[in-house]
Copies of this chain bind each other. A is one copy, B any other.
């Protein structure tokens, strides 16, 4: 009764047992997660090569409760030999550098293969071809879950006659398509909103074809990999850097391994933590390492993290995407200046869209959340944006109670603080919450100006309609009173608008 057996799990076994942590919980959510993980990789695969994504998605019913997801992209492709590990080994990934990208857990694709296998016992079919290659690699993959190793059921090389490059994945998933369908469609629409430079074709399981065509050509520039910022470095990272360091002095070591440390900053910092500039990095004592790491987190003269690793959507692209997908009467977007939390740079982008025919009237704003260009559709309540909206002073900005308002939020960061590996909501880190609030205030002020204008125009229109009604009578009576015979034209009040000067009125009336 009180004996306990101990056991080691492989990462695959851990996530097999705790798959809800990666977004695979209910049959609905699992189908949706599988779909989005593959699509996100496809978008990344194209953008990393500066290619306008051209993505083809088909979902088909295979048998009762089993659906085939087929996604083909025109990205840079995965080299043939690396395909099995990249897709059928957990925590194996190509994204472990300091720059912004959609996925970063090394989990999504392999969890999809794993989930397919445990629900249907079928392998996942993958085609891959890099740019300029003559051969396409085809694999049928499964995972040895207990060992976290790929199982190759089939491998062949096909001639690449059409000069294709990219990745095609065909995976069978047990799921509830009826319920997943609205989320999948919402996800594609939202993606089209922030990626108006991509073509996406989607044929759903009911046979309906959806086409989202690009309205701009410019593919966003990817963030560049950067050195770590000293703020946010921990002893583990410091030890790893020291282990491979070739510099003979701390002065040089700091300048070569961190961003934002030049000669002067290095000197000042080393003085701050009481280490000699020519100290050999390999001869640091335990206490000194800890002092340096703690000093890096408290030293106040480092510049903010570099931001070339970030790739915000931009006010222009965001506005165009929103106009295309939501067709509002009014839109305003802001890209804030980069900030940082715990050494990770981030940028907040917010847009407000108001009125038009597709935005629903609602007591709460319609919130569209994005993180590193990924739409977040679940767990809205837990998100920092929802928290800011809940506590925002809408009255101050004269936003009516039941408004046709859509709010679009985008958090771009080398490390988005997701609450879960399922990437559904962003935690309310102080720095992020503050930026979201400030950005919303900017948008809300612009919305207030717009609403005031609309309101003024509306009142003007009412006034004008009264003029329109009475002016002809006044003109007739005035004519009669003055003894004249020709009644002057009163057309000038029709169509109203800005109040005209008396002179103009007279002029118009006289001509």
Which of B21, B239, B381 interacts with A382 by CB under 8 Å?
B381
Asked if B9 contacts A419 (CB within 8 A), the reply is: no
User: Per-residue 0/1 for A224-247: is the Cβ within 8 Å of any B Cβ (1 yes, 0 no)?
Assistant: 000000000011110110000000
A216 interfacial by beta-carbon distance below 8 Å: no
A89 at the interface (CB under 8 A from B): yes
A9's partner among B10, B106, B119 (CB-CB below 8 A) is: B106
Query: Is A199 in contact with chain B by the CB < 8 A criterion?
Result: no
Pairwise interchain contact B2-A50, C-beta atoms closer than 8 A: yes
Residues of B within 8 A of A418 (CB): 20-21
The answer to whether A366 has its CB under 8 Å from any CB of chain B is: no
Chain B CB within 8 A of A395 CB: no
- Whether, in the assembled complex, A96 has its beta carbon less than 8 Å from a beta carbon of chain B, the answer is yes
* Set B8, B93, B234: member contacting A6, Cβ < 8 A: B93
Which residues in chain A, 323-382, are within 8 Å of chain B measured between CB atoms? Answer: 379, 381-382
Query: B residues within 8 A CB of A119?
Result: 234-235
Report if A211 contacts B (CB, 8 A).
no
Contact B235 A91 (CB under 8 A): no
| Nearest chain B residue, comparing its CB with the CB of A75 | B2
A418 to B85, CA, bound (A): 29
The complex places the Cα of A342 from the Cα of B262 at a distance, in Å, of 58
Flag A1-40 by CB within 8 Å of B: 1 or 0 each: 1101111111101101110110001100000000000000
Q: How near does chain B come to A101, taking the closest CB pair, in angstroms? A: 10
Determine the residue in chain B with the shortest Cβ distance to A237: B118
Cβ contact within 8 Å between A14 and B11: yes
Known: A2-B48, A119-B234. A20 touches B92 (CB 8 A): no
Contact A117 B235 (CB under 8 A): yes
Contact mask for chain A residues 45-57; partner B; CB cutoff 8 A; 1 contact, 0 none: 0001110000000
Closest B residue to A341 using CB positions: B26
User: How many copies of this chain sit in the oligomeric assembly?
Assistant: 2
State which of B1, B240, B381 has its C-beta within 8 Å of the C-beta of A381: B381
Residues of B with C-beta under 8 A to A9: 91-93, 96, 106
Residue of B6, B13, B76, B82 touching A86 (CB-CB under 8 A): B6
Render A108-124 as a binary contact track against B, CB cut-off 8 A, 1 for contact: 00000000011111000
Q: Which of the candidate stretches A304-312, A421-429, A488-496 sits at the interface with the other chain?
A: A421-429
* Chain B residues with CB below 8 A from A82, complex form: 6
A497 interface hit (Cβ, 8 Å): no
A25-B417, A120-B290, A379-B419 are known contacts. Are A92 and B2 too (CB-CB below 8 A)? no
Give the one of A4, A20, A120 with max B CB within 10 A: A4
B-contacting residues of A (Cβ < 8 Å)? 1-2, 4-11, 13-14, 16-18, 20-21, 25-26, 48-50, 64-65, 76, 78, 82, 85-86, 89, 91-97, 105-106, 117-121, 145-146, 174, 222, 234-237, 239-240, 286, 289-290, 293-294, 379, 381-382, 387, 417-421, 425, 427, 429
19 contacts between A and B (CB under 8 A): A2-B49, A2-B76, A5-B97, A6-B86, A6-B92, A8-B85, A11-B91, A14-B91, A16-B236, A17-B96, A20-B417, A65-B294, A120-B235, A121-B286, A121-B293, A146-B240, A382-B382, A382-B419, A421-B421
